[in-house]
Amino acid sequence: LTSTHAALSCNMAHLLDREVAGRVILQPAPADSRPRVSYSFQNLAELDKVDSDNNLVSRGSFSRQLSEGAEQSGLRKRAGSAFNLEEQAKKTPAKWRSFSPRRTNSTPLRSDSEASLPVDETPDPDLIHFDENFRTFHLKAGPSQYAFCVDHHGSLEHLHYGNWVGMGHDLTYLSETDPALTFEPAPAGTNYSTGELLRMVEREEGIDPQQLWMLSTHMRNERGSDWHLSRVENLTWRLRNMWSKNSQDSVTKKTVSAQQVLKVLERSGVPLMGDTSSQTCDAAVPGLCGPMEAVASEGSPTERKGKQGEKGSKLLEVSEFGTGDFRSPTLDVCFRKDGSRLLPLVYQHHRVLPGILPSTSGLPLLGAQNAEGAQTLVVDMVDTYTELKVQLVYTLFPGISAVSRRVIVRNSSRLGLGDVDLMKCMSGTFDFLTNDWHLLSLHGGWACERQITTRRLQEGMLHLGSNRGVSSHQMNPFCVLTAGPPCEDHGHCYGFCLLYSGNWLMEVEQTTTGCVRVNVGLSNTFFSWDLGSQETFESPECVCVFSDKGLGGVTSTFHKLLGERLIAPRWQNLVCPVLINTWEALYFEVEHHRILELAKPAKEVGVELLVLDDGWFGKRNDDTTSLGDWQHDPSKLPRGLAGLAEDLNGMGLKLGLWVEPEMVNMDSNLYKQHPEWVLHHPSRLRAEGRNQLVLDLTRIEVQDYIINSVSQILRSANIEYVKWDMNRALTDAYSAALPPRQQGQVYHRYVLGLYRIFEAVTSAFPRVLFESCASGGGRFDAALLAWCPQAWCSDNSDSFSRTRIQMGTSMWAPVRCMGAHIAACPSHQTHRTHIMKTRFIVALWGTFGLELDLNKLSQQERDEVKELVALRQRLCEVTLHGDFYRLPGFGYPGASHANSSGIGDSNVFAWMFVTPACDRAVVSAIVFHRDTVGKFPSRLKLRGLRPDASYDVTEHVPTPVARGVFNGIFQAGGPQFKHQRRLLLTGAVLMEVGLPVHFNFDGDSLLLELQVKTA
């Protein structure tokens, strides 16, 4: 058959660039000179067409000729038939692709979500492309490319995530260089199940066993006698013999159905090697009875297994427990019937959807409210033994260098395996090759959230996460992996963000090979999900952003992605109102007349919104009582919230309100009526935090109570803003409403309940602006931006503390989402004193508001506040909706020089905002400790400007003092700006040469406005 195979290879080589379904090929070609070919049963059938001009034989005689080893001279002339294959491929594009073993049933696995979506709708192929020749997925994420392939075991092997290199390249060569790992296990493969053979052919209406064997033989030869294809050839040879030896009916011999193949194989229990005693008989196919012969083909799996450690050395898209990959897995399940935790997943099929795949559990998703131009790839993986199904969901948005990922697990197991315990479910696994990897993460605590921390990775595992029931003050669900030390304006970076508000985990593991794995998803501590038959579990969404322009590129991509695709469209162009909050001014003493006393000067200085904070409800005179009783206190508000809103509206102010609906005090009517509504074990002592307990949001009745209570409040008065607080972590996480086996679901069900509440309330009151809060920034995560377009950064408004907090927060959060206020001085948290200018500049780097008692300020100070509020209104279009840049390279001599962008130790920080048109900019800088007397800082180089444009440079709020030239004494009326003259400089000069800036004292600051000079 050697010559015959050569002839067939000649014909098949013409299919190199044809988009046809290659449903049998399971392994990339070796790195040799042989051409790479895509195969399909349709192709083979096409080669059998009658061509009288070339003396070609019919389909039946063609099969017979090959089996008899006939001369191939005529076959060489059949190359032209490849053009017919091209036309056929164009007419019948495959909606589902399958290259690896599928299940032992001819009915395709379909999820509930699949059934509800039109399968014949073909989206624009711009973002997602599947190369059938090499079984490779190419995802176009803006200027970057994300690529992975189906390997010869059916696993998904990651190939590339970086700058765009184009669709036409064969990247599977990368998988062929995976090294062997001594003493590591080889991939499973000594038993090749009959079901796997069927899954290769189940989509074919008719199968010619002779041609099936012929095709697999050619494939094996084409691929250098690969052992996996040798197994395929061995089985198809036996299958051919079953028909050719026992059936003389040419019609029966010609084609059989996939169902008939299934019956024969299942009844025979086809042995792999050396069993000649098996008998087959199928009444549905006359004559199919007789012995099955076995042939030990060269390179069979008993003689040649996969490389040692092959799975552990690969970069994978999904990893499971116990199958040779010893890194931390994506998934961990336990089949309750036999206790097995093995889950070897293989590729089943995939599809591309326009838009996004909606969440079935209420989780926030990018594109849920704006999916224009988005595309989603859904890849189905299956455990061929249990048929448990895992869907990998990839979503891309045009022009954005980001890939969002999540996982859907469906218990479609057969063989009576019953229920499954899902022990771990990460939203995405990201593997990277060896490099000088560094990790940037955001750590901290109450009043010092999201501090930038960097480290160089070494062998071992790093765990970032929270088990507090909230995303937490201590760590934020965000990190960046950088190739080399993190830098603001250059270098390859991969940023990860999880859209989730509960327990979360990011595992960063560097193995002995130098490769790095990043797992992002739910924390598996105190987590287990009882997954009944046909039930589905959905992970939250994670996002991976690539940048070749350093951390600044990561930041700009996240700001654009979250601003355009997560925040509700009605808030995307919001200019946050200037507000004043009653907390630091009045605390719990919020009587009607005192509120109006605070409101009067607030209106005079330009405030637009007054937020009534804690103390307005029940008998709330301290933090020990009344949480849960959401009715106004008549002793403080005799005319209720409606009367207060009426008075404030009459003054030209809007009314906002503070609530904490997830909590309850024991001293409350709600607790007395429903003590079972709190999270606790009824037979154990329980912990309290801030004198309060956590309501059990896993209960529908509790969710409904909160929805109704908040809705009643909002309907009772003209309330246009809500600050939603949450002031303690979850402990005693036990729900009396759930059975014992579901107690591992409490933390996640709590978050799903919270999302349901937010969705119901914000949908019912779309004009009300919501701000999230959790003891400051304890739940400042991307997920809540879907309902709350802004969040309180921290309870600490000290200018120094806030600069560091906002530097870290700005890594992923848009500036317009960061709640920031001018607070009282000295600071109520640090007792530090800062000039008003510096407090203003830091508050301008956010939503902007006031957190102080204006009645305690002098008239001169109130006049200054009024001027600053007016300046904010002038600059806010730039600061809230412009592009944000941290400015590195600025500072005084010493070890911390040039760390002004927040990376590493520094006493100097600088940042700026630039409009999308690059015609206006706002520049800020601050010095913490000026302990370098007599030394000059480096020049402040700007970013994001138009090089050829000329900019007017204006200093706002100049520092009113300067150091005397001769005596060194501070004196009033010093120079307002270094040059004491107007500057007109090009963008190129401002970015390449920079501005000289001198600070006069600790806490000094700078605010510049740049505007393009028009002709």
Question: Whole-angstrom Cα distance, residue 300 to residue 298?
Answer: 6
Instruction: Give the Å distances, CA to CA, from 17 to 91, 381, 404, 989.
Output: 16, 27, 30, 51
Integer Rg of the chain from CA: 34
Residues whose CB is less than 8 angstroms from the CB of residue 355 and which lie 6 or more positions away in sequence, other chains included:
367, 371, 374, 375, 376
Residue 459's SS3 state is coil
Question: In which residue are the tokens 């309907």 written?
Answer: 715
Which is it for strands 144-150 and 663-664: parallel, antiparallel or unpaired? unpaired
Question: Whole-angstrom Cα distance, residue 1013 to residue 953?
Answer: 10
Residue 569 — φ and ψ, nearest 5°? -55, -30
The dihedral over CA atoms of 423, 428, 434, 438, expressed in degrees to the nearest 10, equals -100
Q: Alpha carbon 189 to chain centroid distance?
A: 34
Which is it for strands 822-823 and 849-851: parallel, antiparallel or unpaired? parallel
The residues pairing with 635 across neighbouring beta strands, listed in sequence order, are none
Which residue in 47, 43, 40 sits closest to 21, CA to CA? 40
Tokens of 561: 């992605």
Q: Is 725 a catalytic residue?
A: yes
- Evaluate whether 885 touches 944 at the Cβ level (below 8 Å): yes
Q: Is 17 a catalytic residue?
A: no
Helices 859-881, 592-605: crossing angle, 10 deg rounding: 70
Which is it for strands 437-443 and 475-483: parallel, antiparallel or unpaired? antiparallel
For residue 744, what is the DSSP state?
A: G
Per-residue H/E/C for 917-973: CCCEEEEEEEECCCCCCCCCCCCECCCCCCCCCEEEEEECCCCCEEECCCCCCEEEC
- Evaluate whether 195 touches 306 at the Cβ level (below 8 Å): no
Decide: residue 269, CB within 10 A, 0-12 exposed, 13-18 middle, 19+ buried.
exposed
Question: Whole-angstrom Cα distance, residue 63 to residue 849?
Answer: 82
- Alpha helices (runs of H) in 550-688, residue ranges in sequence order: 550-565, 583-586, 592-605, 640-651, 669-673
Residues whose CB is less than 8 angstroms from the CB of residue 783 and which lie 6 or more positions away in sequence, other chains included:
363, 364, 498, 499, 500, 501, 540, 755
Identity of residue 964 = G
| Residue tagged active-site, from 781, 795, 883, 1004 | 795
Tokens of 683: 């037979």
| Residue tagged active-site, from 613, 614, 633, 725 | 725
The residues pairing with 545 across neighbouring beta strands, listed in sequence order, are 402, 495
Residues whose CB is less than 8 angstroms from the CB of residue 444 and which lie 6 or more positions away in sequence, other chains included:
450, 451, 473, 474, 475, 805, 808
Which residue in 837, 858, 867, 857 sits closest to 976, CA to CA? 837
Question: Whole-angstrom Cα distance, residue 560 to residue 553?
Answer: 11
Question: Whole-angstrom Cα distance, residue 637 to residue 594?
Answer: 10
Tokens of 319: 């990893």
Q: Cβ–Cβ contacts within 10 Å for residue 84, how many?
A: 14
Instruction: Give the Å distances, CA to CA, from 1000 to 901, 907, 974.
Output: 21, 14, 10
For residue 676, what is the DSSP state?
A: G
**Which amino acids are annotated catalytic?**
725, 795
